[in-house]
Structure 1
């Protein structure tokens, strides 16, 4: 199965062939696949990219990138476990796809096709860059929690150690795997980027009030925003408790999933689905704060997007440890998924809403985000990394 264009003649400059693997395509709206798409779009000028993911969503239309959806069974996602399993026919073809490539880029080791691709690439002498987004997850279910820890310390340690280069998007996740993994090269910490052309502050406070009116919100009441999947791990049960405790606040939810806040039938709850890009940025811009009581994440892209729009984020201490210190902009809250404390979260939110430095923090959030998370700089880092690995492999084969 030929997935790349024919090799050019020796007289023509030839782009290296990059095989990209993710569990879903960006239309699925998860942070990992959105990050993969943003990065791939910037790498396409230097690489012939073929992108493989489950056929659960429409494929992205990105210049220079060929997408081939893989038929997959995805029934576990409705139970909060996004773990698509390719059909046997696609697994069988994977070896040929890897053989045709010059380098593989894989996002997270834990998905079935990725677990097969890494040892296959190793056997075929193909370099693999593994970008790891998540580590241990403190599921409320102790069985799930311990199963994931066992997978990380067995398959995870093996896959990361086998990869030509491991890249972590979170220092917390990096530190966790370093405790029990022997890497072939020193692992890297490269945070994800944010598109500052889209995710930027609203120009004036009056614009924020107008945005609230356009979305059916009261400009005079506080607006708290959640963005992400509506699942237990993201803290939806805890958020429901907070909604009931503060009916005078407006609680906005942008996302999708089985724990849909619409079903709560609370008059102070507003829900949007299918928001992305500029339409999502407007929700960040109108909000006072992003509230994310999640656990088991690296450093969520939604936090970066919110800060880029000038909206501080209140997150769990675990999530805050996955990113840089932004005092006053990223506000960590002590949080136990097993014993959540909604009153404590409410108290932290009240303090942030009542601070006289709110305008200062909004400006600081946007400035620091723009300085820290540049897609172009990240893409340049990956280009240099890929080029070095491809050239080393070609030199060794001569």
Structure 2
């Protein structure tokens, strides 16, 4: 007997053309859902153009007034796009929602409940601490009046980080949920050198013998860009290569040891991971940044915020967690500087770390867990 494939609608804030980790996770999960035989549609803001993906793309016309002001993207769809979203949910068998606080996520949950469609919500982030006290209050209020009701409403709830789960559900958690770590594309992110360290650095015009720290992410406040700028001032002996884009422009810092490299293909980032000395991600309010897991798979030591370092309790032995306080970037930069020195004095077992990442972070396994919960 032949069965029709499950029709899944995935809803995220943006497509992966926006450059954020959440969107990259959504893109990869959709590929896995399609590979598993599902009929997949993907609704997201089309403000950065439509990417290549085997899912059918439902581009929503949105405005995004908050990202330049606060670093937080908040795409708000127009009436026609809201109608598109509702129609897509009506035609789906199940809805996968990425994060609670986005307007598109809230609308998707409301429409899914109205149409009696099962939902799984994947929560990527928890509490985001800001330097601004008003933004901190707004964030706490939003989690209280939006995130918690969204979690309670979802038929299935998944977290990509143990720290985010503990932040939002308490310890022990107040309801059942799944802990599903993001996967890693092992064909790209691995510890097998394609080029020598010198060849890769030469391709980017980077010094061969200097300590090289890599940053990958959106150029926004919550990613720790102020901390990074102060750290680069404190440590002229360290070179900083920055992959990404956003409202903050590191070229304006005027620092000779800072090299903004824009957005690049994953293969090129992986090459530089294998030629660098550390990934540096002084961010806050993260779940388990995908770039951390990818760096681990390449055998690259990682310095990151404490919450990210504890996201996978088994992996925390290899990660250098730092207390990042955006309200005190100078002290945060000093702690990052000490972490850089500690990595030199007490190297980690990068081979064991890469083996663990290759075994533990699997896209197919993540997608299978989510699909089974919907079935």
Q: TM-score range by the shorter chain?
A: over 0.9
Query: How far did residue 328 of structure 1 move?
Result: 5.5
Large movers: runs of 4+ above 6 Å: 180-183
1:302 equivalent in alignment to 2:294? no
The 5 A counterparts of 1:378-389 are 378-386=366-374, 388=375
Match of 1:118 in 2: 109
1:318 equivalent in alignment to 2:307? yes
Match of 1:42 in 2: 32
Which residue of the other structure, out of 199, 209, 234, is the alignment partner of 2:223?
234
Query: How far did residue 12 of structure 1 move?
Result: 4.8
Structure 1: segments with no counterpart, 5+ residues: 1-10, 389-398
Match of 2:140 in 1: 149
C-alpha contact 1:160 1:181 (8 A) present in aligned 2: no
Residues 219-242 of structure 1: CA distance to partner in whole angstroms, max 9, x if unpaired? Answer: 111101111111111111111111
The normalised TM-score by structure 1 is 0.88
CA–CA separation in structure 2 for the residues paired with 1:180 and 1:366: 30
CA–CA separation in structure 2 for the residues paired with 1:92 and 1:380: 30
1:160 equivalent in alignment to 2:125? no
Which residue of the other structure, out of 336, 347, 360, is the alignment partner of 2:338?
347
Which residue of the other structure, out of 173, 179, 183, is the alignment partner of 1:189?
179
CA–CA separation in structure 2 for the residues paired with 1:181 and 1:98: 34
Residues 329-369 of structure 1: CA distance to partner in whole angstroms, max 9, x if unpaired? Answer: 211122322223122221220121243x45xx221221111
C-alpha contact 2:12 2:104 (8 A) present in aligned 1: no
Residue 58 and residue 93 in structure 1: after superposition, are their counterparts in 2 closer, same or farther (change >3 A)? Answer: closer
CA–CA separation in structure 1 for the residues paired with 2:323 and 2:53: 41
The normalised TM-score by structure 2 is 0.94
Pairwise CA RMSD:
2.0
Query: How far did residue 182 of structure 1 move?
Result: 9.4
Match of 2:250 in 1: 261
Query: How far did residue 322 of structure 1 move?
Result: 2.2
CA–CA separation in structure 1 for the residues paired with 2:17 and 2:245: 12
Which residue of the other structure, out of 61, 74, 86, is the alignment partner of 1:83?
74
Of residues 150-159 and 162-171 in structure 1, the stretch that sits farther from structure 2 once superposed is 150-159
CA–CA separation in structure 2 for the residues paired with 1:288 and 1:324: 23
Which residue of the other structure, out of 270, 273, 277, is the alignment partner of 2:266?
277
CA–CA separation in structure 2 for the residues paired with 1:251 and 1:50: 39
CA–CA separation in structure 1 for the residues paired with 2:252 and 2:41: 40
Structure 2: segments with no counterpart, 5+ residues: none
